[in-house]
């Protein structure tokens, strides 16, 4: 396997095997999307041009408003609660949780995560903020208003994204599995496999609960899968290709990652790792 390196992270490029063809994922946006080289992407990773996803409804978008976003934030999770925006960032030595002012992108407050942990997704449930880590198997619990750490859990495998249905913690791990966990113990309650017309959809990343559905960023793509939490079936694809226009690109941006839903005002926000903008969008069904 040929080895490529990124000057920003010195990561090994993923090798994607699609229908017998070997292709190297070597663009800047392919490195370190959540935590570096995470293996070959699935052939059904949300590419709406594929034979599987083309049979599923797809949606395009309109930008309602754009807001400044910290271009140094390696975004792992995005959450909206009580008219406040919360974000988690990754990378060992620079991971943190933060409250962000929407209109300016200013960090109001933050809590750093100590090494060797690589911060991943966050979710707010009750009075608690939960934060998971990529490979160290730790979930940390904070008081959501003060960011004071109040507890921690351990779990097996990798941690990628988090959301909640209002009672359980819902977690992704980069595979096609989504896991429900008890917020009191972090024990697994149930697991579903995400599929599109029977084909597993892997690389599930940051999660958000939107009107009874789970929405999942697909790593290394500008696609969001809309997932039925009861069955794991993909009910739609959201194609956000080109949402960050060339005029706002510096060449340092990484992949799209970050979904937040304001249920009170029916607003949807998306951003990406090292992006300079955060967007409020609406959807338009395309097919």
pLDDT for the residue 81: 94
Predicted TM-score (pTM) of the model is 0.81
State the pLDDT at residue 40. Answer: 31
DSSP secondary structure letters along 23-35: EEE-SGGGS-SSS
Quote the pLDDT of residue 232: 97
Phi-psi domain of 206 (left: phi exceeds 0; alpha: psi -120 through 50; beta: other): beta
pLDDT of amino acid 287? 53
Note the pLDDT of residue 285: 80
At residue 258, the pLDDT reads 94
Looking at residue 240, its pLDDT comes to 93
Domains of the chain: 53-285 (2.120.10.30)
For 282, how many CA atoms within 13 A lie in the half-sphere containing its CB?
6
**Angle (nearest 5°) at CA 283 between 280 and 287:** 155
Which pair of tokens denotes residue 93?
Answer: 């030595």
Through-space distance between the first and last CA atoms of the chain, rounded to whole angstroms = 39
Per-residue confidence of the chain (287 residues) as pLDDT tens digits? 232 223 233 222 332 222 222 232 333 333 333 444 333 333 334 443 344 445 899 999 999 999 999 999 999 999 999 999 999 999 999 999 999 999 999 999 999 999 999 999 999 999 999 999 999 999 999 999 999 999 999 999 999 999 999 999 999 999 999 999 999 999 999 999 999 999 999 999 999 999 999 999 999 899 999 999 999 999 999 999 989 888 888 777 788 899 999 999 999 999 999 999 999 999 988 75
Q: Which residue has the tokens 């929407």?
A: 102
Residue 209, SS3?
Answer: strand
How high is the pLDDT of residue 52? 46
pLDDT at 246: 82
Cβ-based burial of 10 (10 A; exposed 0-12, middle 13-18, buried ≥19):
exposed
């Amino acid at each position: 396997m040929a080895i490529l390196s990124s000057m920003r992270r010195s990561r090994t490029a993923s090798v994607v095997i699609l229908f017998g063809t070997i292709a190297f994922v070597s663009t800047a946006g392919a490195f370190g999307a959540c935590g570096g080289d995470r293996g070959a992407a699935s052939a059904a990773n949300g590419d709406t041009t594929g034979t599987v996803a083309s049979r599923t409804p797809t949606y395009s978008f309109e930008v309602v408003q754009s807001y400044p976003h910290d271009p140094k934030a390696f975004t792992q999770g995005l959450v909206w609660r009580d008219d406040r925006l919360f974000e988690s960032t990754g990378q060992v030595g620079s991971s943190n949780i933060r409250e962000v002012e929407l209109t300016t992108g200013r960090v109001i407050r933050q809590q750093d995560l100590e090494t060797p942990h690589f911060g991943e997704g966050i979710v707010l449930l009750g009075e608690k903020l939960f934060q998971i880590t990529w490979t160290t198997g730790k979930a940390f619990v904070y008081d959501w208003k003060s960011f004071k750490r109040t507890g921690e859990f351990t779990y097996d495998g990798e941690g990628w994204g988090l959301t909640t249905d209002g009672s359980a913690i819902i977690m992704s791990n980069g595979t096609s599995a989504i896991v429900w966990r008890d917020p009191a113990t972090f024990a697994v309650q149930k697991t579903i496999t995400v599929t599109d017309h029977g084909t597993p959809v892997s690389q599930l990343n940051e999660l958000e609960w939107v009107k009874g559905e789970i929405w999942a960023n697909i790593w290394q793509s500008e696609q969001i899968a809309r997932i039925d939490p009861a069955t794991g079936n993909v009910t739609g694809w959201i194609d956000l290709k080109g949402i960050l226009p060339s005029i706002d690109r510096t060449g340092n941006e990484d992949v799209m990652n970050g979904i937040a839903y304001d249920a009170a005002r029916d607003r949807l926000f998306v951003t990406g790792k090292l992006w300079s903008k955060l967007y409020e969008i609406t959807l338009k069904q395309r097919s």
